[in-house]
Structure 1
Amino acid sequence: MFEFGDHTGCFMYPTPFAGTSQASQAFWQVDDIEHEVADLKARGVVFEHYHVPGMKSEGDITVGGGAKAAWFKDGEGNILALIQSLDH
């Protein structure tokens, strides 16, 4: 079990289906996605690029629908993402 702030958490478990979902498995909301992407890239994270109708790509970040998002995969191929709301 991994614990986060505000009494939230998640757990991971071994499964033969790891990495088979085509959808994001977890999102982390961030305040500065450009900073977070740069930090993760410096640590060796490779970002995925997806064509999302109605959104535009700006390098590793996709913008549209009131948010910015950046996707990457964990070591088992699960899709994870950072998201920044543009509403504030």
Structure 2
Amino acid sequence: MKEFPYCNSSLPYHVRAKNLVDQMTLSEKVSQLGDQAFGVARIGLPQYKWWSEALHGVADGGHGTFFDDEVSGATSFPIDFQ
């Protein structure tokens, strides 16, 4: 990817961003707007799943722990709410 101008860290951010956006078609730009950015292989833009980091409480990274109780969450010291 280093051959792409938008990856050149010596260029200012606004130049790099403009270079990346200018290389994309309208369809490619739209495809990056969802929670699953499909990437654009021809310009080296990889696929990325935005909501997999669970920053906003949403994660779909595969199998995990499920807490089936009144409070659907993990705590270090479970409290009885009865």
TM-score by length of 2: 0.24
Higher percent of residues as helix: 2
Higher relative contact order, structure no. (Cα contacts within 8 Å, ≥ 6 residues apart): 1
| Rg larger in structure | 2
